[in-house]
Amino acid sequence: MQLSSSFFQYISLLKDEFPDVRLNIISKLDQVNQVVGIDLLSQSLLPAIVELAEDRHWRVRLPIIEYIPLLASQLGVGFFYDKLDTLCMQWLQDKVYSIRDAAANNLTRLAEEFGRDWAMEHIIPQVLEMANSPHYLYRMTILRSISILAPVMGSEITCSKLLPVVENASKDRWWRRQSIHACLS
């Protein structure tokens, strides 16, 4: 009986009208996991995460992004990839810099959590694809992602997969124009 009352209390807090309440519950995930259990937790948590991740206020989205590695470690690689992978990649193209920067940091933490092989299969291909974005801010975010992913991925992957993207970016007309503008100022 104790478990079910705790569970329903937890669910009601995940549906609270104030994002801060929902964020606080999610931030205590490891403690809630001990009370509720991983199966019930994963079923009830996803709708709240998605809702907070898509909130119109970036200050609500930011903490959810920062909790993703904790969620991933608690819920496992299978749950993460099935349910949250798309969100993590979407954040790289958010209109707010702080969200894009946190998303780049997130990729590195996820690569550390799940390993180099997992990152090579699930993160790197999507990052490399985004490097061709027509939006220069997104390309800059990808370069930032590459710079912080490189130490985790190791020299072989960095040289064979990531470095060519950086070299290609150095030929980008936007970067050249910015460099000339900086020299003339």
pLDDT exceeds 90 at position 90 = yes
- Span 49-74, average pLDDT: 84
- Span 30-59, average pLDDT: 74
* CATH class of the domain defined by 85-184: mainly alpha
Contact 24, 56 (CB under 8 A): no
Closest CA to 78 of 39, 26, 33: 39
Range of lowest pLDDT (55-69, 75-89, 94-108): 75-89
DSSP 8-state secondary structure symbol assigned to residue 135: S
Distances in Å between the alpha carbon of 89 and those of 24, 116, 130, 138, 167?
A: 24, 17, 9, 11, 23
CA 108/CA 147 separation, integer angstroms: 10
What pLDDT, on the 0 to 100 scale, is given for residue 1? 42
- Span 108-113, average pLDDT: 94
Residue boundaries of the structural domains of the chain: 85-184
What pLDDT, on the 0 to 100 scale, is given for residue 142? 94
Strand (E) or helix (H) holding 74: helix 58-75
